[in-house]
Chain A
Amino acid sequence: MKVSTDRRLRLAGGIAASMGLAGFLAGGFLVLVLATGAGLPLGESLSDRYIRGVVLFTLEQAALSTLLSVLSAVPLAIALHRARFPGRRAILRLFLLPQALPVLVGALAIVAVWGRNGVVSDALAMAGLARLDVYGLSGILLAHVFFNLPLAARLMVAALDEVPAESWKLAGQLAFSPTTTFRLIEWPAIRQVLPAAASLVFMLCATSFTIVLVLGGGPSATTLEVAIYQSLRYDFDPGRAVVLSLLQIVLTALLVMAANRLGGDAVASFGLGGRTKRYDRTGALLKLADGAVLALGLLFIASPFVAVVIAGLKADLTRLLTEEAVIDAALTSLWVALSAGLVALLLSLPILAAIEALASSERRSGSRLARQSRRALEVTASLVLVVPPVVVGAGWFLGLRQVTSVFAAAPYVVVLTNAAMAVPFVVRILGPALATGHRRSEKLADSLGLAGLSRFQIVDWPAIRRPMGLAYALAVAISLGDLGAVALFGNREFTTLPYLLLQRMGSYRTEDAAGLALLLGLLCLTLITSSESATKLRHGSGR
């Protein structure tokens, strides 16, 4: 095989995979829109007070969540970066965990800590004060801050790690006070990632489904995604579901564009920190303040994890583990997640190979067409960010209804949706590794005429071998913890662990729910942390 043939094959594979992905994401909708035709009650719905309220609430809760997460991340990041103490790295690692925790489990944990019968309410009641009500806006905000505060803080710590060592040396040498250090070094560094952090958090909160489903209450605290789900599952109003879905797509598309403009690739920079050496002179008062900020942050992030463990251990775990429904759900979850992970890899690899082939012809000829096609492939890979799982599900739910039994097709739709959800993450993990490998050995491979399988074995495989495990584990964990895709399609024959957990919560079998949450949370955390440390993927500072 010639090198040029190899390149053409890679391109063809990537285009096929991305068309498959795009087709799946948009397909259900296309079927639907074609079937409904011009009969969409679009204008009518836009003036509908309920829909307007939902849109407003979606934006309002996302804005407030972003404000709270990002504002509290600033002092936390500064304290984390300034304070030197044993266990600092452990805290930074802990801040990774909320991202690995299934959202449903996190929502449950928030209830356990902050809910009516939670630890905080108990303490308040003992002090003679009113118990907290976690359902509604306040609960949604708490949960969003729990998931996103650590994310924002880590982005900021990474930005502080990027500050050149000379700046910290100068600060020490010129005797900067803490305020001067903040004004001249810390704030400028943090300000650079602020737009990226804020837009990322806003995006995640505006498309949040599970948290709002569990903690939102009634029409006054419903986001677009939950409204789509409710209009199909409870009211069965397809017209409204379509309008809501279109609104959601337009909204997220706008958000993604704004985020790209503001922040670029924020997610890629995740330092574990700790390499920067600082020479500030911190007085006793400042040390105390840092300690207090860190203790509060730690308490806020760690308490839900502790609550999950305590509540879960109270459940009758042996009974749960031998219960037929649980075993069935676990097996279903397992095969769904393993296949979704596999499909995600099978979709991502050809896309990445094509991206690299285009990047290489771009390097050789500076071709604009190559650059635009590469961008198009990259956009397709993260298309699922614009078309959230619930919307994809709604499309296929309504589309398939016309031709077959929705529930017969359920497992396939869920596997494919979960795979599509994982593709952006897989691409993000494998992409940089593959790009580095190609830049290093591409000229050599071309001059040797490496093509086909041997090119894959010698150039591609060594580059992606190590991060591959992490990418697969992450894809599997995303699917294991997902509720968005399965929420519409779950039924008696097709029940995954998160779906079962939601059912048990719905029927007030709180102990069962707590036990299942512990099992599910443990499964996902072990999966991700073990594969991450096995991969030893060090996202270093880029300098």
Chain B
Amino acid sequence: MEILLIGVLLLAGLAFGTLGSHFFGVPRVVGYILIGMLFSPDLLGDHLGLDTARWTQPLVAIALGIVAYLIGGAATIGQLRRLGVSIITATVGKVAGAFLLVFAGFVWLGVSVPDLPVWGAPLVLAALATITAPAAIVAIIHQYRASGPLTTALLGMVAMDDALGVVIFSVALALLAADGLASALPLLAWELVAALVIGGGGGWLIERISRLLHEHELRLVALIGAIILLVGLAEAWHFSGLLAAMTLGFTARWFGGAHAERLFEPVEQLEEMVFVLFFTLAGLYFDLSVVVEHGWLILLFFVLRGAGQVIGSWIGARLGGAPPAIANNVGLGMLPQGGVAVGMALMLEGQPRFAEVAILAINIITASTLLTESIGAFAARFGLRRAGELNEANGGHDGEHDNEGK
């Protein structure tokens, strides 16, 4: 039954998403989420006897491992240097701003869940707030043929900031996995050091192996096999699979030299499928009663995350010496939030300790994704227009929302 449902979710999600985008101009992710909702327990799920918690976790863990590998392999050290100081500082500022404001706001309001310390739920939500959806921003830039320093800064930042988000999320989970602060430090050290060492060693190994595999198809098997093996080891040996997969990507890119396409292109082709899976699964967990009960939390998360990003990226960009046109507008272009955050929230669901916060996080992230799809796109357009980088003569062509939200 579960295999049948995965097939239905992928195909119906794809059909609903693309048709909605084509006929109504709504982002594809909306269609994906709606299809997932259709199979949630409140609608068809209970009638079909589906127990989502039982079978979705391995899928989510592998899919998230694939995305983390791609995030890790996004840039080389040389490329990071060429991005420039102001883009790096603005990225750090944006991530720090979103994290701190969401964390402070939710702690101040006393949002907590059973099984976790009072700062547990705010920490998880703050970590999820650091993630951005590059595809939504690229879609707007492409639609309006935007170009200029702000556009360059935005493209660089959205490619890089999820790496920081993965690190923060991994540290947050390691902290929360410990029973007290005394046991947290050794546990944290093991979770992170093991992930870095094993992921790093794996990256070196897979790069060496890939040199022997000239066929594209065989490299794909090796790469996916390595990611799954690493995620499995992380589960068995209790270290961060997400961080390990990201380190795998980073070191594979590092050892792979200049031309890393052979190590990433085969896996990149799976990314769309991963995001369809994440959004439809998030829809499965969508609980209207949670959304209604915590509607104000969703709004608060959206506002705090947005404000934190705008303020943080402004401070970071100014510290890095960016001109006002970039500093004043770059945070506005970073609001869209999507698949990676949804995947991370889904991952929490598999661990009993995080079950309560998982349901809250999945529903907040899914609902705020729908919000950022419209308001985030508007804010990005506003920022690019204010910086004089929008070529509006080219705006409004078909497929405006085709890739948003991922």
Chains A and B bind each other? no
Which residues of B does A touch, CB under 8 Å? none
